[in-house]
Structure 1
Amino acid sequence: MHLIGATVEQSRRMLIGEAVAAITVSAVAGSLGAVAGAVPFAIAKTGDPLAALAPLPYSLAIAVGTGITLGVTAQAGRRVIRTAAA
């Protein structure tokens, strides 16, 4: 991006924006898939679909995935942007 005139800050913002978009799509798709798989099992096991909808496991998975993704993206992006700008 540096070759077409983007500043380091613009490149960093674009990289983080793309990571946030990927996190959002994967969190929604993963949550829908998890619910689709867990609700029938919960109904068969307990007779109650709400047993599969505990918010803590979903929230924890999304938080851990978000942290790992943003951390790796920021670290790799910092290295690549610094090398390209030099």
Structure 2
Amino acid sequence: MIAEVIIITLQQKVKVACAMAGISLTELAARMGTSQPNLSKRLRVGRFTKEELEEMATYLGCEYISFFQFKDGTKI
């Protein structure tokens, strides 16, 4: 049996990851040294380096491997 794949945008992934980590986009932006409007704008465009995504994952308490992976195995 083949698992169903659900495709979501980077913006959606980050929002879900924030919810799972229990922080807001505003808090994530502050941890990253930017403003929430600036982070939201960049999320809409979807342009981040791999290093920026790895940094974001660190602040979310997860790991970035082309997706966010939580300790319980959840992948976003």
For the superposition of Structure 1 and Structure 2, which TM-score range results when normalised by the shorter chain? under 0.3
Higher relative helix content: 1
Q: Greater relative contact order: 1 or 2 (C-alpha under 8 angstroms, separation 6 or more)? A: 1
TM-score, length-scaled by structure 2? 0.27
TM-score, length-scaled by structure 1? 0.26
The structure with the largest alpha-carbon Rg is 1
Higher relative strand content: 2
